[in-house]
Structure 1
Amino acid sequence: MQITNILIWQTNKTLRNFELEENKVNVITGDSGKGKSSILSIIDYCLLSSSSDGISKTNVDNFVNWYGIRFNLNGKYHTICRKATHYEEDDFVYFDKNGEIPETPINNLKKNVLKEHLNYEFGINSSLKIPYGGRFIQQGSKISYRYFIPHCFIDQTTLTSSEHLYSKISDLKTRERIDRTFDMALGSEHAETMIMRTRLEELQRNLARIEYKQSASKDSYVNFENEIESLYDRAYHLGLARSNNQEPTVGDKLDHLKTIISYKDINEIPEINERIRLEKEYFTLNKELSDINDYIETSTEYKKFLKENQDSLLIAKYLDDNYNNIIYTENIYSIVKSLLNQSLEIKKAIAQKGKNSLISKTHEKKKEIESKISLLSKKLSLLSNENITPSALYRFIGELSSEVKRVDVIPKHDYTESIESITSKIDELEGKVKDNNIFKEYTLSLLNDKIKQTLSRMPLKGFEDATPIVNKGKKTLDLVNKNQVEKMIDIGSASNYMYVHVAYFLALHELVRERNVRWVPRFLVIDQPSTPYFSTGGRKTDDFASLDAALNEINSFIEKMKSHGGFQIILLEHIEESYWLEREMENFKLVDNELRGDYGLIHFN
C-alpha cells in the first residue's frame, strides 16, 4: 500500500489535494503552526482509526468537512473519505473501489464492511486469529490490518523519545496489538504458523476439558441410586456385605449385589463363610484359653501342696543336722537321707521362676490368645448382629435378583482414545512451534544486524561502535557498548534518539520487504526528523549538519527498496526544498508548496 493523494474538503467547498508519488520521499514542509503534523493523524483517521487525536481542532478540523486518502493497494487504486471529527460520529464512510475522487463525498459504506474488504486486500483472512490473549485483546480474536499500522508512523514526540520506539505505545490496546502481531510483521510468523498456534491452543484447551471429563466420568444409574443404597444396606444387615473403612461407590455396591445373586448356594457367599469361620475360630480360642486358665489355677494349688509337704519334711533336715548326737541304725539313716532328698526336690520346684519356667511360658501363651480373641471380637462386631435363618437369606436373594434387573445403568464414557489422539496432535504441533520459535530468534538477529548496518552510516555520538539489541518485550532499542548494556533511556541526546528510531524502522521495513510480508503497508510517515537541530527559537543549531546522515539514509533506502517492489516515505519537515536539492537527494519530492507565511495545510483563496 502506498498513498497517492491526501484530500481535504474545506468548509468553503474547496478541495485541498496533496499529490504524492509512489516510491519517493514525499516532503510536506513548512513553518510551525501550519498544520503539517496533522497529516500523520489524517492518514491514520482515513484508515479507520477509532481515534482522531493529533488532528488540530483549532488550525485544521474546524475548517474541514471531509478528509480522504487515495492509495494503491496490490495494483488497485481506492479512495476512502471520512467526515471531519467535529461532526457526529457514525458507522459510515465514503469508499470508491476504483480510486475516483468525488466532488463531494457521501457516506456509502459501513466501516466494518470496509475493514473486511481491506483485510482481504492485505491478505488477512478469518482464520488468522490471536493465539494468546491479553487485557484488551481476547484470545482467538480476529487479526485486522489495523494491527500493523503502528509500524508505519513515527510522530514527532516518539521520534526523540528515550522510552519507546512506537507511537501511542502508552495506549495499552495499541501496545497489545503490536506485541501480538510483531512476529507477523517481521515475517517470522505467517498464516500457517498463526493457524498452527491457534490450533495448538484449541487442542490444549480441549485436552484439559476431556481429561477433566475422564477424571469425573462415572456410571449413571438413572434415578436408581436410592434403591441400590437401600438394597445394599439390607444385604449388610443380613451379613451378606462387609463394612469397610472407605465407603464404596454406588457402582461398587451394585457390583456386590450382582455378585450375591450369582451364587447358587448361600454357603458359597464369602461373607457367610467368613462369619462361620470367625465364629469357629473364636470358639476354639476361647476353649484353649479356658484350658490354660485351668492349668494355671492347678499349678498354683500344686505349689501350695508342695509347700505343705516341704514343711512336713523339716524333721529330716533336723535329724541330718544332729547326726552326731543321735544313734541311728543303718535303715533309719537311709530313710532320713531319702526324706532329705525329697525336701530338696520340692524346694527346687517351688523356687523355679523366670522366662524359661513352664508357668511363665503359659502366661505368655495366655496373653497371645487373649489378643487374638479381642481382634476376632472386633471383626465379628463389624458383621451383622442379627440372627438370620437360611430361608430369610434365600427370600432376600430372590427379591434382590428381581430388583437388580430393573436398574438401568448408563456406563461411564472412556475418553482414553480421544486423549491419546489429541496428545499426539499436540506433540506434533509443539515440535513445529518450537522450530518456528528458533526462526523468530534468527529473525530478531537479522533485524539487529540491519539496524547496526544503518547506524554505521549515521553513528550514535558516544556509542559509535555499540551493538544494537532490540528489546522485543519492551519495544525499545538497547546497546551493548564496551561489554556493558546501555538501556535506551541512557543513550543520550535527541539526535541519537532520532537516529535510533529512523534506523529501527528502516531496518524493519527492509526486512519486511525482503520477505514480502503482505499485511504491512509499504509506506512510513516520519514527523520532523530535523527537530533536534532547531533551537527553541526556531533557529538552526551548530549540529544541524548531523541531519544530513539521516536524510541521506532515507534517500538511499528508497533506492534500495526499488528492487523489492518499492517503498514510500512521507516526511513532515521544517527544512526548505533547496536543502535536499543542494545535496542531490534524487528521491526527495516536494508535495504541493512549502507551508510558509499565509499558506498552510488549510488555505482559503
Structure 2
Amino acid sequence: MKFSINKILLWLKSGNLREIKFRRNKINVITGDSGTGKTEILSIIDYCFFGSRADITDEIINENVTWYGINFNINDNVYTLGRRCIEKREVSKDYFFHADGYIPKMPAVNNDEKQIKKIIDKEFSITERTVFPYGGKNITLGSKISPRYFFMFNTLSGDTIDHSEIFFDKQNIDRYRDALMNIFDLAVGIETEENLLKKEKLNVLKADLKQWRRKLTLIDKEVEVFNKNIVDLSKKAKEFNLIDYDLTDPAKLMKRFDEISSTYKEESIEINLERINKLKTEKNKILRKIRNLKKFKLEIERYKKLEKNKLDSLKPVRILNESYKLLKIPELD
C-alpha cells in the first residue's frame, strides 16, 4: 500500500482556493520563518482525516477559511477529502468526498464520516480483523486500528527532527505512543493481518487460561475447606456412634452422611400446656428464692462488717483489762 498527499486545499472566505502542492515519491521539506504556519499544515492534515481536536489556529488561518481539504493518493487511486472549518472551537461533522480526486470551486456536504472511513479503511487494507494485538493504558486490546496512526510514518515535525530520542510525531499523545508500539511491525511489513489475528486469538486464550487458573485456585481452596468440614463432622458423628471409627475415606463418609440424613426422622414433641405452666411457676419460685438468698447474703455481709467494727472498738478495754488489776481502796471510817 502506497499513500501520498498531493495537495492541501484551503477554500477561503474570499472565494479563492489556495493549494499547497507536494511532490510524489519525494521528501517534501516545508520551511519558513517562525509563526508562518508550518506546524498548521500537519494540523490541517490531521483535521481533515477525522481529527477530534480543534488544533488549527483561529487567527489568520481558521478565521479566513471555510473548508479544509486534502487531495491524496492511495495506491493508484486519487481522492479528495474536505471538511468544513472549525466554528467556535468545535470541530465540524460536515464532509465532502470525491473518489476520483475532483476538486470543486467550493465544496458541499455530500457524505458522512462513517461512509468515508469505510472507503479509506478498505484502501488501507484495514478490515474488522485488523486490530491491536496488545493493549495499553489508552488502547484496548482487540480494538480496530485506525489509518490515522499510520500518518506517523509520513510526516516529521521540526520538534521531532530536533529531538535526540523521539523519532515519530505525536509521541506526546498517549494513545499514539501506545499505537506506535503495536503497528510498527505492520507498517514496515514485518507483521501481517493474519498474524495479528492469530496474536489476538492467542491473547484471548491466554486471558482465558489465566482466568481458569484463578478459578481452579479458588476451587482447590474450597475443596480444602470442604474436606476439613468433613473431618470435623465425622469426629462428631463418631462421638455419637453414628459412624464407625475406622471410616475415614471422604467418599464413604459422604455416602454414610447421606444415609443418616435420609433415614433420620425428627421425633414428635407433644406440647403440654399444663406442664409448661407448672414449670414456669416452679421457675418463678426458684427465682424468688435466689433473690431472697442474695438479699440475705448482703445482710450477712453488712452484719459481719458491723460486728468487726464493734470488736475493734472494744480492743482498748480488753488491753486494759489484761494489763492492770483493779485496786481495792479501803473504806474510811
TM-score scaled by structure 2? 0.64
* Consecutive unaligned residues in structure 1, runs of 5 or more: 221-228, 262-396, 404-605
* Partner Cα separation in structure 2 for residue 168 and residue 401 of structure 1: 73
1:256 is aligned to 2:253: yes
**Is the 8 Å Cα contact of residues 7 and 67 (structure 1) preserved in structure 2?**
yes
Paired residue secondary structure (1:154): coil
In the TM superposition, residue 36 of structure 1 has moved relative to its aligned partner by: 4.4
DSSP-derived class of the 2:183 partner: helix
1:65 lines up with 2:66 in the alignment? yes
One-letter amino acid of the counterpart of residue 77, structure 1: V
**1:80 alignment counterpart:** 81
Cα distance, 1:81 vs. partner? 0.8
Q: 1:80, CA displacement in angstroms?
A: 1.0
- Give runs of aligned pairs for residues 84-483 of structure 1, distance below 5 A: 84-87=85-88, 88-217=90-219, 237-242=240-245, 252=250, 255-259=252-256, 402=263
Sort the Cα spacing of 1:241 and 1:168 in 2 relative to 1 into closer, same or farther, 3 A: same
Q: Does the 8 Å contact 1:155/1:167 carry over to 2?
A: yes
Whether the aligned pair in 2 keeps the contact of 1:35 and 1:59 (CA below 8 Å) is: no
> CA separation in 2, counterparts of 1:24 and 1:200?
40
What is the match of residue 19 of structure 2? 17
Return the alpha-carbon distance in structure 2 between the equivalents of residues 163 and 27 of structure 1. Answer: 21
Deviation at 1:197, TM superposition (A): 1.8
Cα deviation, residue 52, structure 1: 4.3
Q: How do 1:546-565 and structure 2 match up within 5 A?
A: none
Cα shift at 1:193:
2.1
Deviation, structure 1 residue 142: 1.6
Aligned length, in residue pairs: 252
**Cα offsets for 1:345-385 (capped at 9, x unmatched):** xxxxxxxxxxxxxxxxxxxxxxxxxxxxxxxxxxxxxxxxx
The structure, 1 or 2, with the larger RCO (C-alpha pairs under 8 Å, 6+ apart) is 1
Q: Please give the secondary structure, in 1, of the residue aligned with 2:184.
A: helix
What is the Cα deviation at residue 94 of structure 1? Answer: 2.0
Q: Distance in 1 between matches of 2:181 and 2:254?
A: 62
Indicate conservation of the 8 Å contact 2:85/2:92, yes or no: no
Q: Structure 1's 26 and 165: CA in aligned 2 closer, same or farther, altered over 3 A?
A: closer
CA 27–187 in structure 1, closer or farther in 2 if over 3 Å, else same: closer
Query: What are the superposed Cα offsets for residues 281-331 of structure 1, whole Å, 9 maximum, x if unpaired?
Result: xxxxxxxxxxxxxxxxxxxxxxxxxxxxxxxxxxxxxxxxxxxxxxxxxxx
**Which whole-Å CA distance do the structure 2 matches of 1:44 and 1:141 have between them?**
21
- The one-letter amino acid of 1:78's match is Y
Provide the C-alpha distance between the structure 1 equivalents of 2:132 and 2:20, rounded to a whole number of angstroms.
Answer: 37
What is the DSSP-based 3-state SS (H/G/I as helix, E as strand, rest coil) of the residue aligned with 2:200?
A: helix
Structure 2: 5+ residue stretches without partners: 224-231, 265-333
The structure 1 segments of at least 4 consecutive aligned residues displaced by more than 6 Å after TM superposition are: 229-232
- Alpha-carbon offset, residue 113 of structure 1: 3.8
CA distance in 2, matches of 1:26, 1:186: 21
Deviation at 1:116, TM superposition (A): 3.5
- Distance of 1:121 and 1:136 partners within structure 2: 26
Shift of 1:204: 0.9
Q: Structure 1 residue 163: deviation in Å?
A: 3.8
User: Distance between the aligned counterparts of 2:34 and 2:212, measured in 1?
Assistant: 64
Query: In structure 2, what residue type is equivalent to 1:120?
Result: K
Cα shift at 1:10? 0.4
Alpha-carbon distance in 2 for matches of 1:210, 1:36: 54
Residues 14 and 236 of structure 1: CA distance in aligned 2, closer, same or farther (over 3 Å): farther
Partners of 1:19 and 1:90 lie apart in 2 by: 24
Judged with a 3 Å threshold, the aligned counterparts in structure 2 of structure 1 residues 155 and 132 are, in CA distance, closer, same or farther, namely: same
More helix by share: 1
CA RMSD of aligned residues (A): 3.5
Greater shift, 173-182 or 15-24, is seen at 15-24
Q: Distance in 2 between matches of 1:134 and 1:41?
A: 25
Tell me how far apart the structure 2 counterparts of residues 157 and 112 of structure 1 sit (CA, whole Å). 33
State the AA in 2 paired with 1:144. S
Contact 1:236–1:242 (CA<8 Å) still a contact in 2? no
- Residue 194 to residue 240, structure 1, CA distance change in 2 (3 Å): same
